[in-house]
């Protein structure tokens, strides 16, 4: 059953983002795509072990043959070294340019499968079927696809929009706590970027209010999609405004890289990165103390990490691999107020180090 739909429209692209209870309706959406030769479901064995029987049952009435390609789970496996094997599987099964790739899983699968779709035969169509909260509110929306290399995360990628996003919310019922943190951190980020009613309502919620079938969750997903799609539709290829979506990610990516993607989930790292950005915002662009305390309160209500545990000097070193580096400074997204982000703010290394040291203390 379809729960809600939002359409994302930009320059040269237009596609729906739909929330569903389960997989019912996915075949109908796929059959509406013209001239599909084959469908490839790219997923991890972990996801397949839980949900393959359900999606297989739904796809039996598909008007084209379908098969599964299994990926190794985890951020460390979203690596360019893994790409060749999947290309060869597609070539060996005669995948042509009329094939459709389904990214069935969380953000890692979505990024990786989207990168495959964007580059195989210079681009085949793909569909996002997100199974985590983070993928629902972030990676499945906006068309950023990428893989990692040894020196950094998402350093090789493309902007490549899906045909549609089909989110079966019942898959969220099996999420571990770390995955809930991932999604809730992105929801908090979108609330900071948007301000207004969204921020106020989310501030009144707490972690226990979020479950796969809760109205609170559905509201948060719908509003997050509204915020992100509104930004992406104005700036698909991050030439300006879209950069605000990197709020919290400069520190977050550095933490992930430093800890080799093992200690933190993406959302936990971004949550810590949001606090870095909030501290810098208070220091540099006039974000008020009152707003800072409100933001920290929201994050604690959602049980997100706020303190930095790693050595500030090591974090700074990994920040310098970031795509937003410029000379002796790094570019940050900061907040002048809720709903008033400012991107491309140059911050000197000395200031960053001072703030990171402060973040290791009590907040």
Q: Indicate the annotated binding residues for NAD(+).
A: 107-111, 131-132, 144, 153, 171-174
What is the 8-class DSSP label of residue 348?
A: E
Phi, psi of 341 (to 5 degrees): -75, 155
As a whole number of angstroms, the distance between CA 237 and CA 234 comes to 9
- Which residue among 20, 125, 190, 249 is the active-site one? 249
Mark whether 238 is an active-site residue. yes
**Is 218 known to be catalytic?**
no
Q: Is 31 a catalytic residue?
A: no
Among the listed residues 38, 190, 266, 324, the single catalytic one is 266
**Annotated catalytic residue, options 179, 238, 256, 310:** 238
Phi, psi dihedral angles at 181 (to 5 degrees): -60, -40
Which residue in 242, 282, 324, 342 is the catalytic one?
242
End-to-end distance of the chain based on CA atoms, in angstroms? 44
For the question of residue 242 being annotated catalytic, the response is yes
- Residue of 253, 282, 318, 324 marked catalytic: 253
CA distances from 220 to 13, 21, 212, 245, 340 (A): 25, 16, 12, 17, 20
- Is residue 60 part of the annotated active site? The answer reads no
147: left (phi over 0), alpha (psi -120 to 50) or beta: beta
190 labelled catalytic: no
Note if 246 is an active site residue. Answer: yes
Instruction: Verify whether residue 144 is a known catalytic residue.
Output: yes
Select which of 20, 38, 78, 144 is catalytic: 144
Query: Please, what is the angle between helix 266-284 and helix 249-258, to 10°?
Result: 130
From 228, 282, 318, 342, active-site residue: 228
Q: Is 79 a catalytic residue?
A: no
- What count of Cα atoms within 13 Å lies in the side-chain half-sphere of residue 266? 20
Q: Which residues are annotated as a binding site?
A: 107-111, 131-132, 144, 153, 171-174, 186, 249, 266
Catalytic residue among 18, 58, 179, 186: 186
Active site residue 84: no
Binding-site residues for Zn(2+): 186, 249, 266
Active-site residues, by number, are: 122, 144, 186, 228, 238, 242, 246, 249, 253, 266
């Amino acid at each position: 059953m379809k729960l809600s739909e939002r359409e994302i429209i930009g320059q040269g692209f237009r596609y729906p983002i739909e929330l569903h209870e389960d997989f019912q309706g996915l075949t109908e959406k796929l059959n509406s795509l013209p001239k599909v030769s084959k469908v490839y479901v790219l997923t991890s064995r972990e996801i397949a072990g839980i949900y393959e029987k359900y999606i297989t049952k739904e796809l039996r009435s598909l008007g084209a043959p379908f098969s599964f390609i299994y990926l190794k789970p985890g951020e460390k496996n979203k690596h360019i070294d893994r790409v060749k094997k999947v290309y060869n599987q597609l070539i060996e099964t005669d995948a042509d340019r009329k094939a459709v790739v389904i990214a069935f899983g969380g953000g890692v699968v979505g990024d990786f499968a989207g990168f495959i779709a964007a580059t195989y035969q210079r681009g085949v169509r793909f569909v996002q079927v997100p199974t985590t909260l983070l993928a629902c509110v972030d990676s499945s929306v906006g068309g950023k696809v990428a893989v990692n290399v040894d020196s950094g995360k998402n350093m090789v990628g493309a902007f490549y929009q899906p045909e549609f996003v089909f989110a079966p919310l019942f898959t969220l019922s099996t999420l571990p706590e770390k995955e809930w943190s991932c999604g809730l951190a992105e929801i908090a980020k979108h609330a900071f970027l948007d301000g207004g009613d969204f921020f106020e309502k989310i501030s009144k919620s707490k972690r226990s209010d979020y479950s796969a079938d809760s109205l609170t969750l559905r509201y948060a997903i719908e509003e997050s999609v509204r915020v992100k799609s509104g930004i992406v539709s104005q700036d698909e290829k991050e030439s300006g405004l879209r950069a605000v979506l990197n709020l919290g990610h400069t520190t977050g990516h550095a933490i992930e890289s430093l800890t080799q993607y093992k200690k933190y989930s993406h959302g936990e790292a971004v949550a810590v990165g949001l606090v870095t950005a909030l501290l810098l915002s208070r220091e540099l662009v006039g974000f008020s103390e009152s707003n800072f305390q409100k933001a920290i309160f929201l994050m604690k209500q959602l049980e997100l990490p706020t303190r930095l545990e790693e050595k500030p000097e090591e974090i700074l070193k990994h920040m310098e691999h970031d795509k937003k580096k410029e000379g002796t400074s790094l570019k940050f997204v900061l907040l002048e107020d809720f709903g008033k982000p400012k991107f491309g703010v140059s911050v000197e290394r000395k200031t960053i180090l001072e703030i990171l040291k402060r973040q290791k203390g009590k907040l």
